[in-house]
Amino acid sequence: MALPPAFDKLPLENALEDSPQVRSLVGVFNADAQALREYVTTLHQLSSKLVAAHNQLTSVYQDLAKHLKAYKSVKFCVDNDTEGVVSSTLAKFASHISEMSSWEHIVATQIADGAVYPLSRFIDTELHEMDTMATLHQNAGVDLERAVTRYSRCRRRDPEQEHRESNEDVYVSKKKFHQMALHYYSKLNLLQFSRKAALLEPMLGMLVATRAYHNMGHDTLVVPEVEEFLSNISVCVKSVQEDQTKEGEDTLELIDSIITQSQLMYYAEPPPDIAALPPDTTLTTKSGYLNVQKKYMGVMSSWERQFVFIEGGNLMGVTKGEAVGSLLIEIDSSMLVHATDTDDRRHVFQVVSCKKSVTLQALNDRERDEWMLTIHNLAKDGGYVKDEKTAPASLFSGVGQFFADKFHAASAAMGSAPSTPTIATSSTSQSSSPSVTASSPPEVAIPPDAPIVFDLLTSPEETFSLSLDSEENKKEETDENKVLEDSEGSNIFTVRFLGSMGVNVDKGQGVVCEVMRRIIAARAIHNVFSTNELRLSISNMYLVLSDAATKTIRLQHNLKDVAYWATHSENHKLVGYIVRQSDSDGADNSRYSCFVFESDGSGTDICTALGVAAKAAYDQLVEKKTLEKKRKQETKLLLDNIAQLPDIDDPPPVSSDGQFLILDGDLHDSPRTPPVASKNSEVKRAPDPAVADGEDPESEA
């Protein structure tokens, strides 16, 4: 029989989710605790028998030694002793105990204090508390199911007081269940540390007591090998206890942090005085509990709470008590999703395909909208809603903002956005119209309802597909190749994109740090912990973000549009920069976006590279303007010298680029002026060296 895979600890982050996978994992840990209880109970019985059976001391030592050796054959469901430290240590203990089989039973009192008492304390405290917490966790789960069922049965025509009471009942039950689950899971995790101390400490006390009391075993036990062995075991037990204490403190801090971040998730529907988060419009997979409508004979119907998830393009559901899911509906291009009011219930939506339909109920509007958006994202070529009039306003606002952000990101990536006004221009226009400025309210640095994007566009081709014709596509491919060539010799850093959001200002370290805090908090609330590894290339012209594996450009910014960059004041691995963007219609309305990344190294190196690149770009610009000014001065000096020549009445005109003089031979359509007898005749008699040599006057000019 193959051993099950080893698990380190239960994930506390998924305690509130209570998914079937988490339940199965908790069952594995419970089985492991039961096996540990049986083993420790047997050890305690044998130690007590050793104290009581003075006449049978020899046989008891033999049994105990056999039991210690049998530890390596016990199949623990959760066994993190991969190196066999515990089993090998117990085996060595068993060898010493076998040698003590002929000793007297006077050591019973010492053994009772050093071996029986720690085992009794472990059973009465750790294992008994584990059973109590298991019962409380089960009762909290039953209360939560009852509260959610009561809330789900609330109808629209029910009094508002009943809705509030049921919602508050869900909050209290879910919070109680979450807290109990966190403490119960942490207790199961800490049991893996208590296992070592509970098994090693009694044996250590028994061996030390026997050596100290019996001089008979002096020749056998008082040797350097045993001294070293006892010393190592003492250090090991102390180290395990210190690790257990540290793990307990870290677990308590993690529990406090999770409870603080999960306050909003305790409500089935957030109260009006708490700002609700907008639905995430970029999801392609989602899981959670929903009420699924079951129909019987096409007339009668009932609602069943299931754990619904998306896998392989299919909408799956797992009922309570089952380990695997069943197919609810297959998501294809003909999929339609719309809100409905089935059975006078709230937050209900329907998924319809050409083959069947499924009616689902969420706990609030945000969950319903996220499920509808996720299914829509999978069915890209199909319908989204049946009728715009029946769809909720929050749904269309989220979709519109999502595609608007993609369009502006595409304009910024292509470099076709109109130039944004400078700060001086903006301040001048504001000062010229003081009445308008005085009447408009001041803008905050970060909008309170600004959406957060957790992922970049999948590829530049998706960016170019937003209403671009074929000629613009061809031009953008040329620009992309140019950016790739420019970034070959640039500074390259490995980063992970955390998110971005719009801001109203173009500078400020406090603004960047606040954006970092909001993005990290939003990731924790949404349980978004996965990030993509990207290559950040910084050159004198562009800031390019490309895929680390395929080197496909995910996002690019012109260096002149990067207005500000900074690292976090406490965590220097977090780095962010503010990019200046403009509206796609060319309106004089500047917008700014703050992008946040996590660097493998120090974010200060990225900021330094940006500063060096900005300085190099500025030096190139100054050099270019200096050359243009010098060329204009040389052109003006040449024209002045030509004008001072005595044989030319008017200086010849200069071409538009300032590099050539237009002579009379170039004016084919204009009539020539007849030469003057005195002056022009002399010019004719003076042969031109260029003409005499057979050269063209235009080429000479």
Q: What is the pLDDT of residues 82-102, one digit of tens each?
A: 778 888 888 888 888 888 776
Q: What is the pLDDT of residues 107-164, one digit of tens each?
A: 777 788 788 888 888 888 888 888 888 899 889 889 988 988 888 888 888 888 888 8
The CA distances from residue 468 to 35, 463, 565, 581, 583, in Å, are 66, 9, 32, 19, 16
Sign, CA torsion 391/394/395/396:
positive
CA separation for the pair 480, 544 (Å, rounded): 10
Residue 289: pLDDT band (50, 70, 90) is very high
- Terminal Cα distance for the chain, rounded: 97
Output phi, psi for 310, to 5 deg: -110, 125
CA separation for the pair 3, 9 (Å, rounded): 17
Residues 6+ away with beta carbon under 8 Å from 688: 697
Range list of β-strands (E), 19-118 = none
| Nearest partner of 603 among 530, 510, 494, judged by Cα | 494
pLDDT of residue 432: 36
Q: How far is CA 629 from the centre of its chain?
A: 51
Say yes or no to pLDDT of 36 above 50: yes
Residues 6+ away with beta carbon under 8 Å from 512: 564, 565, 566, 568, 576, 577, 578, 594, 596
Say yes or no to pLDDT of 406 above 50: no
| Nearest partner of 343 among 66, 154, 94, judged by Cα | 154
β-pair type (300-311, 314-318): antiparallel
pLDDT of residue 93: 87
Q: Residue 605: left (phi > 0), alpha (psi -120 to 50), or beta?
A: alpha
CA separation for the pair 618, 451 (Å, rounded): 34
| Nearest partner of 423 among 319, 214, 564, judged by Cα | 564
Residues 6+ away with beta carbon under 8 Å from 668: none
Angle at CA 644, nearest 5°, toward 642 and 647?
85
Output phi, psi for 451, to 5 deg: -70, 150
User: Bigger pLDDT: 492 or 17?
Assistant: 492
CA separation for the pair 502, 517 (Å, rounded): 14
CA separation for the pair 202, 48 (Å, rounded): 12
Q: What is the pLDDT of residues 628-674, one digit of tens each?
A: 888 888 888 888 887 777 665 566 677 777 667 676 554 444 444 44
Q: Among all chains, which residue has been given the structure tokens 């937003």?
A: 466
CA separation for the pair 505, 508 (Å, rounded): 8
Helix boundaries (H) for 262-308:
none
β-pair type (491-503, 533-538): antiparallel
| Nearest partner of 542 among 491, 496, 495, 468, judged by Cα | 491
Say yes or no to pLDDT of 231 above 80: yes
Strand-pairing partners, residue 129, are none
* Helix, strand or coil, per DSSP, at residue 563: strand
Strand-pairing partners, residue 491, are 538
Output phi, psi for 531, to 5 deg: -130, 155
pLDDT of residue 260: 83
Residue length, the chain? Answer: 701
Quote the tokens at residue 421.
């006004």
The mean pLDDT of 196-223, rounded to a whole number, is 78
| Nearest partner of 151 among 322, 324, 361, 5, judged by Cα | 361
Say yes or no to pLDDT of 1 above 80: no
Quote the tokens at residue 498.
């955390």
* Helix, strand or coil, per DSSP, at residue 570: coil
Residue 688: pLDDT band (50, 70, 90) is very low
Quote the tokens at residue 112.
């009772």
pLDDT of residue 635: 87
Helices (H) and strands (E) in the chain — how many of each? 20, 15
Q: Residue 321: left (phi > 0), alpha (psi -120 to 50), or beta?
A: left
